[in-house]
């Protein structure tokens, strides 16, 4: 029994057209969803928070962090 080829050879022009189309679609999607990208999470250093001098300032920081 003769085995068939496992891969198909494509024309280079077809492959390039497909690649160009995929890149165009990717670019369009990035532009479309750019404004919907999530803001990066803030970096919080816990050691700095522990060094806050008084409770009132700690409470203000907690409120601000919750609002993020």
Residue 49, number of CB atoms within 10 A of its CB: 13
Q: What is the pLDDT of residues 6-62, one digit of tens each?
A: 566 778 888 888 888 998 988 888 888 775 556 666 677 777 776 777 887 877 877
Enter the tokens of residue 50.
């522990």
pTM for this entry: 0.40
CB-CB contact of 18 with 9 (8 Å): no
């Amino acid at each position: 029994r003769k085995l068939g080829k496992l891969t198909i050879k494509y024309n280079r022009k077809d492959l390039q057209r497909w690649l160009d189309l995929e890149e165009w679609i990717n670019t369009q999607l990035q532009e479309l969803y750019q404004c919907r990208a999530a803001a990066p999470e803030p970096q919080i250093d816990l050691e700095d928070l522990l060094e806050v001098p008084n409770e009132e300032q700690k409470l203000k920081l907690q409120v601000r962090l919750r609002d993020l």
